[in-house]
Structure 1
Amino acid sequence: MPTPNPAALEFLQTRRSRPAKTLTTPVPDRAALMPLLEAAARTPDHGKLEPWRFIVLERPALLRLAAATEARGADAGIEPERIAKSVLQFSDAHLAVAVISSPKPSEKIPEIEQLLSSGAVCLALLNAALAAGWGANWLTGWMAHDPVFRREALGLSEGETVSGFIHIGTERAAPPERPRPDLGAITTWVTE
């Protein structure tokens, strides 16, 4: 018979990301952030490859990334409105953790499983931050998918990608609840 953890289940059933633009200071310091990273690193990882890593982006780094976003967006011909929105993702932030997908060569573990593990790290970090009482949000944006930005602004190696920027801070105002999926419409029961 399983041993239920009702508090954990209730948290997962009611968890809610907080819009990054509503997050402000204070943000977790290194001592408060380390347990969140530790929780995220407990993500399923077939083959124990650790096909992901963290880049903690503090305020000065975020401001540098905002400037890099503006410059790279202009060079890449991104629409000015899209650039402006993307710049705000960094310039308005006080702390974000970039979760980097860093696949390892493996004959047994396909790259897609390693990529999925990196996405699971994003969700685990997001949930750990929320469970610790912080506001948090998982963002990407065109910058996460731009190879030049990844290489020049974040220093990523060939083959590394950004799975997400997890913004963490103090929530200014709780957003209203949003509609949730209709489980009947997305669930198939296979009985034979």
Structure 2
Amino acid sequence: MPTPNPQALDFLLTRRSRPAKTLTLPIPSADDLRPILEAAARTPDHGKLEPWRFVVLQGAALSRLAELTERRGQELALEPEKIDKAKSQFANAGLVVAVISSPKPSEKVPHIEQLYSAGAVCLALLNAALASGWGANWLTGWMAFDAPFLTEGLHLADGEAVAGFMHIGTETSAPPDRPRPDLDAITSWVNE
């Protein structure tokens, strides 16, 4: 018989991301953040390749990325509203953990499985932050896919990418729940 963990299941059934724009100070200290990162690093990684890594962004780093976002947005001739929205992700944040997808050469583990693992790290990090009592949100945005931004701003190597910008802070208000998928509409039971 399995040993249930009703508290963990209840958390997963009721978890809710907190919009990044509603997060404020205080933010987790390095000591507070460490167990959150440790929990995320326990994600199945398909062959112990660790095809992901973390970049913890705070203070001047976030200001620098906000400025880079504005400059790159202008260079790309994006709409001012789109630039401002993207810039605010960094300018108004106290703490962002960039989860970097960093696939490793492997004959046994396909590239796509390594990308899935990086996405799973994002969800594990998000849930660990929420379970620790922090507000948290998983964002990307056009900057996560802009090679010059990634090279200049985060010094990513060839083949690396941002799986998510994980915003963590103190929530100012709990958002209402949102409609969830109709489980019957998305589930097939195959018995033969």
TM-score normalised by the shorter chain: which range applies? over 0.9
Matched residue, 1:119: 119
Which residue type is aligned with residue 13 of structure 1? L
Percentage of pairs with the same residue: 71
Matched, 1:188 2:188: yes
Which structure 2 residues correspond to residues 77-156 of structure 1 after superposition, within 5 A?
Answer: 77-156=77-156
Deviation of residue 59 (structure 1)?
2.1
- Which 5+ residue runs of structure 2 have no aligned equivalent? none
Matched residue, 1:57: 57
Matched residue, 2:76: 76
Q: How many Å separate the matches in 2 of 1:131 and 1:173?
A: 16
> What value does the CA root-mean-square deviation take over the aligned residues?
0.5
Q: How many residues align?
A: 192
Which residue type is aligned with residue 78 of structure 1? L
Summarize deviations over 1:79-106 as a string: whole Å, max 9, x none: 2111110001111100010000000000
Which residue type is aligned with residue 19 of structure 1? P
Larger mean Cα displacement after TM superposition, 54-63 or 3-12: 54-63
Deviation of residue 58 (structure 1)?
0.7
Matched residue, 1:25: 25
Which residue type is aligned with residue 175 of structure 1? P
Deviation of residue 77 (structure 1)?
1.6
DSSP-derived class of the 2:47 partner: helix
Q: How many Å separate the matches in 2 of 1:125 and 1:6?
A: 20
